[in-house]
Chains A and B, each alone.
Chain A
């Protein structure tokens, strides 16, 4: 067959088309990544603040007594935001806000140090009764009770369907004295989940890393080429294919009795950590084994020929040479712990716990997102804010793994 000019041209066009197709397909993934980051940052950046990291998730309620001496004229500070309202008589400023459930809130913007609201005491009976309770900027005013000219006790605040402006106007114009305040913290913080995540990391790494490393050493250094060893390998390999939700089921039946020994009842962080350590095992084993394989055999031969036994060779020669690989195994595991959700939903529960301990339930950051999203009113803002935190951590881990593995490769070449 003769190759004509038109055939070559046709071929060229066809090639160009095919090349463009590959380009388009790969730009789809870029597009998705950009869209994901854009969406998460756009939704979550507003809620992201240092306060988010240190606040409790659940709102706290305070019923407070306001001290009797409260007359005065307070000077409005110059730097108050324009959308806040200043009470001249009682020395505080409030603003309007919306909760993520679209409820109207009145938030405290500023309190004068001499204001009666700055010297309130706890009014609810209990150990804290009568103690001074400081309220701070950002808390919600649910109700402020006051006595008007006729001597009647009335209420102002969100409970009386007021907003910041009407609250200040009412108090300034018709209140003779204030008697009681019902104040609420806004909540919505993730301190508890951060603490739980740390516990989880600690428990699961403490278990998975030593067991994983020992297994990898056995497989790479000790195991003989017999019929038994491939079985060991493939049964560990099979663990990677098990969906994480199945690990959750496993945790509930197999590992629950273990946690019951420590007197944990029901779901607990300990159970979550144990389950996670099983999930991490194949990752740790494989990545340690990769690192061990790279260590040249000469090292082992040299050590053995100097009279060291195998255990000494492993601990003094092989393991130190494999440390970058083991480190990258730990970093990979960290990423997995932070991202894991399905298995933990079963084993740690979905209730956000503000003061988690090892033996009680709690939520990791990922599970916190799930419990925010699975309600009737998905809280996109907070879920995205936590997602940003997770994304940043994962990004940093990824970069570190890349740098480490680059170093590992360089070491022996």
Chain B
């Protein structure tokens, strides 16, 4: 038998080939497991580290959880940590940004897909992609130079002294710019995915093109557009470096005045980086948990609304 079968398809070589196959498969499986376990590691370790200050026997002195969650003063120097007002500030600025950016993004997406001539549309697409790829620090530098100055001018026009222009309004405008490409590009895909038959039907019924775009296209792309809004909101919540350049450093709150300085969860986490141990270090993880919880809850809420709206169609 050995003499007839050629060497490279002998039983021995087949066995080796098989072993190699199994090895590769298991290696790849291991890597896939590794990649997907990262999220669990992140959640687990941050929960562990962030909940430590509230447990009894914490070595730097236990903090009361209700005071932390509902507190309205954040003073690291005095050892007072209340994250409640910061959560409200964060939610206000993120939703403010969404409110500002959402209509502009959706209309831009509509313009790109349906209204604009092809060449203009492709230029606009490139612009949206470019805006999406600009790093957040660069937006931060831009905002600290221009948006802040704009807010200062508005403040002085109204006779209000602003903190050099650092304000909630600056944060909202900055975030609105930053989430614009996210919402726009998702809206573009949603609008592109609308069944052309729907449009044709609407046109056949005598509606004008513009009427069709606004009444038929937008409402059939609703759920995709909403997904874009949810993603944009997540980005607005999590944005850190650029926001910390224009937010100011408010010690108490919540801030409802647009021209007043504010403090978001992320800017709090970036402030006071000097510590590498101790309570000030650990409390950052607690703020991180609050941030993740805020994102999760608002996502769930928006998803619920999205499904409610989606069902009506």
Number of A-B contacts (CB under 8 A): 244
Is A298's CB within 8 Å of the partner chain B?
no
B141–A373 CB distance below 8 A: yes
- Determine if B138 and A390 form an interchain contact, defined as CB atoms under 8 angstroms apart: yes
Q: Interface stretch among A21-29, A57-65, A185-193?
A: A21-29
Which among B45, B108, B141, B291 is the interface contact of A40 at CB below 8 angstroms?
Answer: B141
User: Which of A26, A33, A235, A310 is B25 in contact with, Cβ under 8 Å?
Assistant: A310
Q: Provide 11 A-B residue pairs closer than 8 Å at the C-beta atoms, listed in order of the A residue.
A: A14-B210, A26-B112, A30-B127, A211-B35, A245-B240, A250-B46, A309-B20, A345-B270, A367-B137, A378-B245, A387-B141
Q: Report B100-129 residues with CB < 8 Å from chain A CB.
A: 103-105, 107-108, 110-112, 115-116, 124, 127-129
Q: Name the B residues within 8 Å of A278 (CB-CB).
A: 38
Q: Does B61 contact A (CB under 8 A)?
A: no
Asked if B49 CB lies within 8 Å of chain A CBs, one says yes
Cross-chain contact B137 with A370 (CB below 8 angstroms): yes
Q: Mark A300-337, 1 if CB is under 8 A from B, else 0.
A: 00000001011110100000000000000000000100
> Which residues from 4 to 44 on chain B have a C-beta closer than 8 Å to any C-beta of chain A?
9, 17-18, 20-21, 23-25, 27-29, 31-42
Q: For the complex, is A161 an interface residue (Cβ under 8 Å from B)?
A: no
List the A side residues contacting B231 at CB < 8 Å: 241
Q: Name B141's contact: one of A236, A342, A384 (CB within 8 Å).
A: A384
Q: Are A340 and B135 in contact, CB atoms less than 8 angstroms apart?
A: yes
Q: A18-B210, A310-B25 are in contact. Are A342 and B133 (CB under 8 A)?
A: no
A134 beta carbon closer than 8 Å to chain B = no
Please give the distance in Å from A287's CB to the nearest CB on chain B: 14
Instruction: Report the separation of the CA atoms of residues A263 and B28 in the bound assembly, to the nearest whole angstrom.
Output: 30
Whether A231 pairs with B36 at a CB distance below 8 angstroms is yes
Residue pair A28, B266 in contact (C-beta under 8 Å): no
B142's nearest neighbour on chain A, judged by CB, is A36
Q: Which 3 A-B pairs have the closest CB atoms?
A: A243-B238, A339-B135, A25-B107
B244 touches A374 (CB 8 A): yes
Q: By the criterion CB–CB under 8 Å, are A250 and B31 in contact?
A: no
A19 at the interface (CB under 8 A from B): yes
Candidates B115, B135, B146, B285; contact of A23 at CB < 8 Å? B115
Partner of B291 from the list A29, A223, A243, A250 (CB cut-off 8 Å) is: A243
* A223, B38: Cβ atoms closer than 8 Å: no
In the complex, residue of chain A having the shortest beta-carbon distance to the beta carbon of B24: A311
Please, which residues of chain A bring their CB within 8 A of the CB of B142?
35-36, 39-40
Task: Chain B residues near A83: list those with CB within 8 A.
Answer: none
CA gap between A215 and B37 in the complex, in Å? 12
B209 interface contact, C-beta 8 A? yes
Known: A22-B115, A339-B136. 19 other contacts (CB 8 A): A15-B208, A28-B108, A36-B138, A211-B31, A214-B31, A215-B35, A238-B39, A241-B231, A245-B269, A246-B238, A253-B45, A311-B25, A341-B135, A341-B136, A366-B241, A374-B244, A380-B141, A384-B141, A394-B133
Out of B32, B41, B115, name the residue touching A19 (CB < 8 Å): B115
A222 at the binding interface (Cβ < 8 Å): yes
Contact present for B131 and A29 (CB under 8 Å): yes
Q: Are B28 and A215 in contact (CB under 8 A)?
A: yes
Question: Which A residues lie within 8 Å of B34 (CB)?
Answer: 211, 215
B64 interface residue, CB < 8 Å from A? Answer: no
Q: Is the CB of A222 within 8 A of B25?
A: yes
The smallest beta-carbon distance between B197 and chain A, in angstroms, is 22
Taken together as a complex, chains A and B put the C-alpha atoms of A345 and B24 apart, in Å, by 37
> Residues of B at under 8 Å CB distance from A?
9, 17-18, 20-21, 23-25, 27-29, 31-42, 45-46, 49, 103-105, 107-108, 110-112, 115-116, 124, 127-131, 133-142, 144-146, 177, 180, 184, 208-211, 213-214, 231, 234-235, 237-241, 244-245, 266, 269-270, 273, 276, 284-285, 288, 291-292, 295, 299
| A244:B238 contact, CB within 8 angstroms | yes
Is A97 located at the chain interface by the 8 A CB criterion? no
Find chain A residues with CB under 8 A from B38 CB.
Answer: 239, 278, 281
Q: How far is the CB of B168 from chain A (nearest CB, A)?
A: 19
Chain B residues with CB under 8 Å of A40's CB are 138, 141-142
Q: Is the CB of B134 within 8 A of A394?
A: yes
Main secondary structure of the interface of A (DSSP, over half): helix
Residues of A within 8 A of B103 (CB): 25
B210 near A244: Cβ-Cβ < 8 Å: no
Chain B nearest CB from A74 CB (Å) reads 45
The interface residues of chain A lying within 8 Å CB-to-CB of B110 are 22
A window 184-217: CB within 8 A of B: 210-212, 214-215, 217
Q: Whole-angstrom distance between the alpha carbons of A383 and B139 in the complex?
A: 11
Measured between beta carbons, the chain B residues less than 8 angstroms from A36 are 134, 138-139, 142
A51 at the B interface (CB under 8 A): no
Fill in one digit per residue for A241-285: 1 if any B CB lies within 8 Å of its CB, else 0: 111111101100110000000000010000000000010010001
Instruction: Find out whether the CB atom of A254 lies under 8 angstroms from the CB atom of B146.
Output: no
Closest partner residue, chain B, to A313 (CB atom) = B21
Contact between A366 and B137, CB atoms less than 8 A apart: yes
A266 to chain B, nearest CB (A): 7
A48 sits at the interface (CB 8 A)? no
Asked whether any CB of chain B lies closer than 8 Å to the CB of A43, the reply is yes
> In the complex, are the beta carbons of B25 and A253 less than 8 A apart?
no
Does any Cβ of B come within 8 Å of A219's Cβ?
yes
CA separation between A26 and B112, bound complex, in Å?
8
Contacts of A311 in B (CB 8 A): 20-21, 23-25
Question: Which residue of the partner chain, among B31, B130, B146, B292, contacts A218 with CB atoms under 8 Å?
Answer: B31
Give the distance to chain B from A316, nearest Cβ to Cβ, in Å: 12
Q: B residues within 8 A CB of A380?
A: 141, 144-145
In the bound assembly, the distance between CA atoms of A226 and B279 in angstroms comes to 45
- Say yes or no: is A142 at the interface (Cβ < 8 Å to chain B): no
Residues of chain B with a CB closer than 8 A to A374's CB: 244-245
A214 contacts B127, C-beta separation under 8 Å = no
User: Would you call A285 and B35 a contact (CB within 8 A)?
Assistant: yes
Is the C-beta of A107 less than 8 angstroms from some C-beta in chain B? no
CB-based contact B133/A33 at 8 Å? no
Shortest Cβ gap from A340 to chain B (Å): 7
| Nearest A residue (CB) for B44 | A254
Contact B288 A246 (CB under 8 A): yes
In chain A, positions 339-377 with a C-beta closer than 8 Å to chain B are: 339-342, 345-346, 350, 366-367, 369-370, 373-374
